[in-house]
A and B are shown apart, each in its own frame.
Chain A
Amino acid sequence: MSVLTVREKLAILSDAAKYDASCASSGSVKKDSLKSGGIGSTEGMGICHSYAPDGRCISLLKILLTNFCIYDCSYCINRSSSNVRRARFSIDEVVKLTMDFYRRNYIEGLFLSSGVIRSPDETMGEMVEVARRLRLEEKFSGYIHLKTIPESSAELVEKAGLYADRLSINVELPTDEGVKKLAPEKKPETIRLSMARLRQKMEEKAEPTLRTKKRERFAPGGQATQMIVGADETSDDGILHTSARLYGSYHLRRVYYSAFSPIPDSSSSLPLQKPPLMREHRLYQADWLVRFYGFSQPEILEGSEDGMLDLAIDPKLAWALRNRGQFPVDINRADREALLRVPGLGTKVVAKILETRRHRRMRLEDVGRICHSIAMLRPFIIAEGWSPGAATDKTGLRDTIVRSCEQLSLF
């Protein structure tokens, strides 16, 4: 095999990494280089340095250390039976590439993952070494996200947590049955145990040590995971149930949903179709409702027939239409919890309503000035001088709203 240039390797190993949805550089502790005189900072809010035409943000240098892999997961471009071109970065190459990109302000940091070669510990060890060198030799204070290999040893995971801002382990698919079918060598039990250990480690390190009274650093950006959507038969309700379990059990910062994308040299056991992007989007919206809007997971699809999110309307509107008895909500009197359930009102707008109504009673047009579209809101609220009357219970309400929202987006 001819020797590949760094550029050729980069092409192969970024192409191999693009099916991982996560790219966030947020949620870590604040750090900068003022004291160290080095390079890099994280300031809480992530920064997207570019956008690819797929609309996804490019925040981190997202690459694999190698795409050689002993696993044969049918949804993965790097599975051992795939005919994709293989490459392997050296540790030096990844460190240099990261620093070269960072110094030019192309990226917030590195998201390093890898195919598993020989043994989980050997692969994980190399990934940790990249992070160690960046931190200690390059005085790099930017963001580092390491994908953790579930089977790797506790010492390596401890070191990974010392250098990385975030660690993640992919659950891959929403059910254990799905994993067994599509990723036969992967063990869902081991994945769960690894996530449990990460949570334990994070909690342990959050306590000040007895001797130094300081907190030791361990992945301040927490842990995350990814689930592939649409490669197996799991319903949205089932997916959201799995997410709720993962958030509760392992205190994940994020669950990423990745619409199953056809891959070159695909396995015949998978659907060959365009990725279900809208479904992915609705799942994120539903995830948000549970995390920030006070919804419990079972509520989201309660009363739906097939356990699937409505693709045409957002899940909050769909919930409101199924629970019209809880509407209209009085903008001038309802509590925060009730306001958050009104379709079209986001957390920021709700905060503004709560503040403004302390000083004056709000009319429909006042609400209209601070929210995106009053059309969706109107049937669900009471305001000064406004009551929807029977509109809330009209049978054609869903279609009316869908049409008015479509018209809006034409302008």
Chain B
Amino acid sequence: MQPAELNLVRYKVLLESETDFAGWRDAARRLALNEVRPEDVSWHVAAGADRTQRDLPAPPADAQLVVPRDFIGHAETALCHSDPTRFAFLYRMLWRLRTEPKLLSIASDPDTRRLEAMEKAVRRDSHKMHAFVRFRKIGDGAEERYVAWFEPDHFIVERNADFFVRRFTGMRWTILTPYACADWNGERLAIGPGAAKGDAPTEDDIEALWRTYFENIFNPARLKVKAMRKEMPKKYWRNLPEASLIPELIAGADKAAKEMIARMPTTPAPHHAKVQAKYWPKHEPTQMPEDDAASSISELREAAKGCRRCQLWRDATQTVFGEGPDNAKVIFVGEQPGDQEDLAGKPFVGPAGKVFDAILDDAGVDRQKVYVTNAVKHFKFEPRGKRRIHSKPNAGEVQACRWWIDREFALIKPDLAVALGATAALSLLGKAIAVTKMRGQVIEREDGLRVFITIHPSFILRIHEPADKEAERERFLRDMREVKRLMAA
């Protein structure tokens, strides 16, 4: 210990500007590598300072300073903060990081919190600059330019200039601030010294329109002044052309809202009757269509659109009715539409439908000649985020939908029905059966209809083991060949 030196700062660092990160980084590196303690350094900004930092010790040969990679990014942002002690603080952070490499991960450490708070303040100020810069137009034609006056809390003009270049590439613009200005001439960005408010234009005709918009988009019945001031603090108001309207809007809000509520409903506008007569000739009473009267599948399909026989319509997009020729020899009955079917309004178009199509094709069954439908005609599901998890229809829902299945069969009069899975079998036979046991068998119903029992093709999709999957596909293919044989018989 050399107590005599304690109060003396050994090194004085001069930085070129308030945002001279390269200068800070170079100095910090030299100092840290020479074991110079934070309390032995003072930091200053002096325009035109000597970048070579002659007074600072050179880094020892092949010495390396190891700090976490992301510290550089954090420091670069925090350095734009207006706090004059930031250079010293960041050097202290660097100093600690040499021996505490995990420091940035410890969110509860006071220095880490301070660094984070500084970055947050800089980012917020940047965001507010993107939001609250207001350009005013001067000149016309080739002379047209857009000029803004803005007062940031921190030193953020340099880091934000690119945002405005990306956004207003096709404009010539200048943003004036007290400490620096950014100017884009359409090709090149220049950062110059600060300006005064008086250097900026004082008016722009379009502001009257903007103020009109601001006034009218405000809903006086929803007054929430605190919420507004939290996001648009008063300090910004003086440079926002719309802000001078705020006090009168607030003052008048209560009265305006009360008026909105109190104003009695008036008689309909004069043109209303004409509009109603022309576009909405009569409000048809909503009634259950006479679905019994349907004499063709297309009529039946139409009638099923408004089906309310169970509650499943509430969450589904639409009724997914059967599809295929009116005179099909065979009807395939699945369980219920899935996600894709619900959107498309057609049965067997999703992943299981694709498997089904491919196997039918392999078996030589022409899908165009068969009729495919489902035991239940609305998709039943549980929403899970952006997915819909299929849920099995219950016996009541199957029973309710028998109304449609029975009519589909009555109109088409097929020779054979294929029950794909347990729900279809339940619907067709009126009782639950063990599909895996009965698979491949034909059951004759009391009315003489032959029902071939097999699995639902989605079962194949659920098998993960490739060999098992292939084996199951083969079995299903054999079933479909059998169906083809039965169709011919």
Residues of chain A having any CB pair with chain B under 8 Å:
6-7, 10-12, 14-15, 17-19, 32-34, 36-41, 43, 45, 47-58, 61-62, 70, 72, 80-83, 97, 100-101, 103-106, 139, 176, 180, 184-185, 189, 192-193, 195-197, 199-200, 244-245, 247-249, 251, 259, 261-268, 272-275, 277, 290-291, 296-297, 352-353, 355-356, 358-360, 362, 365-367, 369-370
Contacts and interface: CB of A to CB of B under 8 A. Distances in A.
Contacts of A273: 261
A243 B343 CA distance: 17
B400 interface: no
A122 B146 CA distance: 37
B271 A80 contact: yes
A180 B261 CA distance: 24
Interface in B52-77: none
B222 interface: yes
Contacts of B132: 49-50
A33 B170 contact: yes
A355 B105 contact: yes
Nearest to A365: B108
A83 B106 CA distance: 62
A34 B217 contact: no
9 contacts: A36-B170, A37-B170, A38-B170, A51-B231, A54-B220, A61-B213, A200-B344, A262-B221, A262-B261
B165 A106 contact: no
Given A105-B148, A248-B381, A57 B231 contact: yes
B228 A72 contact: no
Given A103-B137, A180-B286, 8 more contacts: A18-B218, A19-B219, A48-B231, A62-B217, A81-B272, A83-B269, A103-B135, A244-B383
9 residue pairs, one from A and one from B, having the closest CB atoms: A55-B227, A248-B383, A55-B224, A81-B268, A32-B166, A366-B108, A33-B169, A352-B107, A54-B222
A274 B261 contact: yes
Contact of B386 (A6, A251, A277, A296): A251
Contact of A55 (B165, B210, B226, B343): B226
B386 A248 contact: yes
Interface in B265-303: 265-266, 268-269, 271-272, 275-276, 278-280, 283, 286
Given A50-B232, A265-B266, A267-B265, A104 B217 contact: no
Nearest to A291: B385
Nearest to A274: B221
B98 interface: no
B257 interface: yes
B432 interface: no
Contacts of B216: 10-12, 14-15, 18
B113 A52 contact: no
Given A15-B216, A33-B169, A196-B343, A265 B209 contact: no
A27 to B, nearest CB: 14
B105 A356 contact: yes
Q: Which of B135, B208, B210, B253 has the most CB of A within 10 A?
A: B210
Nearest to B252: A53
Given A103-B171, A192-B317, A296-B384, A261 B209 contact: no
B34 to A, nearest CB: 29
Interface string B331-348: 000000000001111000
Contacts of B275: 70, 72, 80
B387 interface: yes
A266 to B, nearest CB: 5
Contacts of A176: 314
Contacts of B345: 193
A62 B219 CA distance: 13
A184 B283 contact: yes
